[in-house]
Amino acid sequence: MTIVLRMPDGVPLTAQQERQAWGAVHGGGSGRQLGGRSGFRVGTPSNVLTATSTTWTLGACSAMLDPGAQTHQGMYGWSNDTNVTGTVTAADATYDRKDIVYIQVNDSDMDTSGAKSAPVLYLAGTASASPVAPALPARSFLVGTITVPKAGGGSPTVVRNPAVYVAAGAPLPVSSSTERDALTVFDGLSVRRMDIPGRPVETWDGTDWVGAIRHEEWTYSNPANTVPNATGWGPGLGTLDTTNSVYSGFGSTPANEVFKVNTAGRYTFHWYMILGGVNGAPVYMSIRNSDGSLTYTSHQWPNAYEHDISVTLNLPANAQVKLVFVQTGGSTYGWVTNHRLRVTKLA
């Protein structure tokens, strides 16, 4: 066991002890108590890595890196103050290819590299009909991925690794729910969702990610049905509108006219449509429980125009609700030109 006090006069420290002593300032999410989550400095431009058909270039930038070769290795500061360049492998004649640029940390006191360096390196992938990037070598941080089109297919495109480093207590910028869900969570860990307008902050409360109001927008196929139909029918199978949803993933439509919530919580259901017309008896729209035995809310359609109903419910995990039309007489039912369901998770 080594206890490090940083840094009274006259007490020498090894490089590893110095790195360990900085462990308390690193942001969370890595699961490494004396290390951290590798990433670029916040604000690093997305085009810091560029590529032509012959050359890749990494501009001036900085990062904090945890190579993970040893449990208590700690993090390394890294920077370059001028362009670093390398050769891009020639394009394949038939297929596209994905290559990577990465930084590899070598510390012979911690690993078997036999070196003490952190070069910027390039690794070409394998061209194929569905190319994938090569596996990242050990002790390495991905700088970015270069997609090289087949010969004559245009110029390479580059996607910089979105990972950034932040200090302890700061919301960690993430580019997707996938990146967020890969973190080692703890109660109070906060992330900033760079993939959502407004860049909202989400916090892990020990059970789930909470933050800005979450909602899902669903559109429906509105299948035809014969009437009269006193039992009721529904609007068909829902399709998630990912463009207009915020923090989607808490619900699904496992069957026609059924919506299922994945976790327990308080939800508002807002069902909206534009009704084209009705022949015969009044038509009712209602939101019910899964077997249709309990109606949460119901509204009668008069004639054409816009109509909507809403209800707020406390639901257990995996609960289901049904969207139901009922027409007790007449020969046909109205058609719907715009038909949507918004589900908002309040808590």
Q: Give the tens place of pLDDT for each residue, 56-80.
A: 999 999 999 999 999 889 999 999 9
Minimal CA–CA distance to 37: which of 158, 187, 196, 171?
Answer: 171
For the whole model, what pTM was predicted? 0.64
Q: pLDDT exceeding 70 applies to what percent of the chain?
A: 86
Report the C-alpha gap between 163 and 103 in whole angstroms.
13
- Whether the link from the prior residue into 197 is cis, omega within 30° of 0, is no
What is the rounded distance in angstroms from the CA atom of residue 61 to the CA atom of residue 143? 11
Of the candidates 346, 338, 307, 310, the residue with the CA atom closest to the CA atom of residue 241: 338
Q: Can you give the pLDDT at residue 1?
A: 45
Average pLDDT, the chain: 86
Task: Give backbone dihedrals phi and psi of 227, rounded to 5 degrees, phi first.
Answer: -135, 160
**143-164 pLDDT, tens digit each:** 999 999 999 999 999 999 999 9
Count of C-beta atoms within a 10 Å radius of residue 48? 16
Number of C-beta neighbours around residue 44 at 10 A: 20
| Residue 128 Cα to chain centre, angstroms | 27
Domain ranges of the chain: 15-170, 214-345
Residue 104, C-beta contacts closer than 8 angstroms, at least 6 positions apart:
67, 118, 119, 121, 137, 138, 139, 140
CATH number for the domain formed by residue range(s) 214-345: 2.60.120.40
> How many C-beta atoms lie closer than 10 Å to residue 46's C-beta?
10
In tens, the pLDDT along 168-226 reads 889 999 988 889 999 998 899 999 988 877 788 989 988 888 876 778 898 877 655 55
Q: Which two tokens stand for residue 148?
A: 């090289």
